[in-house]
């Protein structure tokens, strides 16, 4: 089994007002730099010798980046509560049908050493 990964970054604003106590710092509008890593598992196909075509992966990731970058996450369908957990799962759900072998989505928030990993329904 081989695992390949690709990264992309995006900048976005959000707030969690209504989901955190009044006065909580996350309730105020603010922004982050997000770094996303997606992992695909599989065996290299005999014809190409690769698990997946990185150009194909990149096409999907750039489309997704276009939806997220310099956007206000609360306005995106499915991200009305834009926690790190929900963002990670949202990215997984958007990519799962398009990227066979998708195994793991990891999202890092800023440079604060925080992140989230989602592996879908995989056992
Ligand atoms: Zn935040």
pLDDT in tens, 74-108: 999 999 999 999 999 999 999 999 999 999 999 99
Ligand 1 centroid from CA 6, angstroms: 23
**Would you say 26 and 15 are in contact if contact means Cβ atoms under 8 Å apart?**
yes
**Distances 37 to 16, 25, 46, 57 between C-alpha atoms, Å:** 24, 27, 26, 12
Ligand 1 centroid from CA 4, angstroms: 29
pTM for the whole structure: 0.94
Ligand 1 centroid from CA 77, angstroms: 18
Rounded CA gap, 41 and 58, in Å? 16
Tens of pLDDT, residues 16-37 = 988 899 889 899 999 999 999 9
Domains contained in the chain, CATH given = 2-118 (3.30.479.10)
């Amino acid at each position: 089994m081989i695992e390949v990964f690709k990264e992309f970054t995006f900048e976005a604003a959000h707030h969690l007002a209504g989901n955190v106590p009044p006065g909580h710092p996350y309730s105020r509008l603010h922004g982050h730099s997000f770094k996303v890593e997606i992992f695909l598992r599989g065996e290299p196909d005999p014809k190409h010798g690769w698990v997946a075509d990185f150009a194909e992966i990149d096409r999907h990731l750039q489309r997704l980046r276009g939806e997220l970058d310099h956007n206000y996450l609360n306005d995106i369908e499915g991200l009305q509560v834009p926690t790190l957990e929900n963002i990670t799962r949202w990215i997984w759900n958007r990519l799962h049908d398009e990227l066979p072998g998708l195994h793991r989505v990891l999202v890092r928030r800023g440079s604060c050493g925080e992140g989230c990993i989602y592996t879908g329904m995989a056992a």
